[in-house]
A and B are shown apart, each in its own frame.
Chain A
Amino acid sequence: MIATGVRATARIVAREDGRGGTALPVLEGDGPLALRRTRATGSEARVMLVGAMSGPLGGDHFAVEADVESGARLRVGSAAATIALPGQAKGESRYDVRIDVADGGELHWLPEQLISVCGSDLRVTTRIDLAGSARLVLREEQVLGRVGEEPGRLTSRLTLRIAGRTVLDQELACGPGAPGGWDGPAVLAGHRAVGQLVVVRPEFTREPPAARMLGECAALAPLGGPAVLVTAVAADGLRLRRVLDEALASLG
């Protein structure tokens, strides 16, 4: 028997409904990626990503595509952590996220952590394309291994374009087989949780937040364009979440 991974693509389109709210003309889950609309608040539509199977396992290829059209407001969360697991199929698994937000659109993309389990091999790409007046809050958290366990191999790339210009392009590789030094003093130094928070607001063009430290192991940095990035490392996922939540609150 040849084991092949699961291919699945989930799609979300958010559109202004003309009555002060946001409609979801496309809300398509697929296999292990199920989507649930939850109760809206004000003009914002809310979607939960619900894992209907475990994974991604080795060889799986998951994708999530979200389009937020002009004037629409969408908040996406997930019901539980995503857990990268080893699988019977050979080779790496992939998780690709594509996000487009049009002018005047707003997206809060706040999934739970990604946990890289011992023996797993996952490549994550997150590509965000924003129009010039789009707004975004995006959080990414990676936890390297379950408690007391060695992590799997994880490579995660985050690319942010605003009005066609790339303002952030970064990749972190860690775990067995990653380039040397990933757990050393220049990269993670034994921290088992690493995360990023991206906040894009048009008003940052006029008043960019100043760069600042958030404790010992996190920093907030203004990027080129109306965007800031918070980079944080922590001993575990809980501490990481606390730092990123405080960073978001500090931006008002």
Chain B
Amino acid sequence: MSRGALLVLADGRFPAGGHAHSGGAEAAVKAGRVTGAASLGDFCRGRLYTAGLVSASLAAAAVLGVDPVELDAAADARTPSPALRVAGRKLGRQLMRAARATWPSGELDALAREFPKGAHQPVVLGLVARAAGLGAEDAAYCAAYESVSGPASATVRLLSLDPFDATAVLARLAPELDLVADRAVEAARRVVELGVDELPCASAPLLEIGAEAHAGWAVRLFAS
């Protein structure tokens, strides 16, 4: 693996459109559930062990060569909220555009043809990691980190939270990021042997419900 490529892919400035999404933080702030650094930390921890673990496992399994079409269907089954399915595919398509320019690959071209409206972002992320010469663990880390870094930076804007405090939240989650990335890679290895039912399916009811509420707002700062 190339540690340099990992930094390029994991960089928040990688032009894949993630900055336009709050990972559910905007809905949670509006509902009064996230009000500062402490509740942001709880929010991110809950998201990490649910949506983050699922995304990381999908991405790792894609790196290990599991059929992306099956992974995409498994992502749908783990995402009952239509608003989140739309957001996941939109993010997948944007990542695909950026990655095909950065790490051109036949596999990415094939996936883009299969899903003209976009495949789920973690599935695309896994194939991008493959194209960049990265491994399953790298992809799992990228997905797990994105699951918390998005809400943290969105909350800086939503609550005018001190960016130092938001970054401290992320730093304190680092050991748990390691744990989730490990579990995701273990799960992805089981998927290779036993099929996509082995993927974790941890759910967060308020992320699902909040995403639907958010999608109905007339005015919002973030797309999801």
Contacts and interface: CB of A to CB of B under 8 A. Distances in A.
A188 B203 CA distance: 11
Given A185-B33, A211-B83, A221-B212, A166 B74 contact: yes
Interface in A213-230: 213, 216-219, 221-224, 229
Contacts of B31: 216
Interface in B64-88: 73-74, 76-78, 80-83
Contacts of A13: none
A52 interface: no
A184 B45 contact: yes
B200 A171 contact: yes
A147 B202 CA distance: 26
Interface string B208-224: 11001101100000000
Contacts of A221: 80-82, 208, 212
B203 A233 contact: no
A182 B212 contact: no
Q: Is the interface of B mostly helix, strand, loop or mixed?
A: helix
Interface stretch (A18-26, A101-109, A113-121, A172-180): A172-180
Interface of B: 24, 28, 31, 33-34, 39, 42-50, 53, 73-74, 76-78, 80-83, 176, 197, 199-209, 212-213, 215-216
30 contacts: A169-B199, A170-B78, A170-B80, A171-B200, A171-B201, A171-B203, A173-B202, A179-B202, A180-B45, A180-B46, A180-B49, A181-B44, A181-B49, A184-B39, A184-B42, A185-B34, A186-B24, A186-B50, A187-B46, A189-B206, A211-B81, A211-B212, A213-B209, A221-B80, A221-B82, A223-B80, A224-B77, A231-B208, A233-B205, A233-B206
Interface of A: 157, 159, 165-173, 179-182, 184-189, 194, 211-213, 216-219, 221-224, 229, 231-233
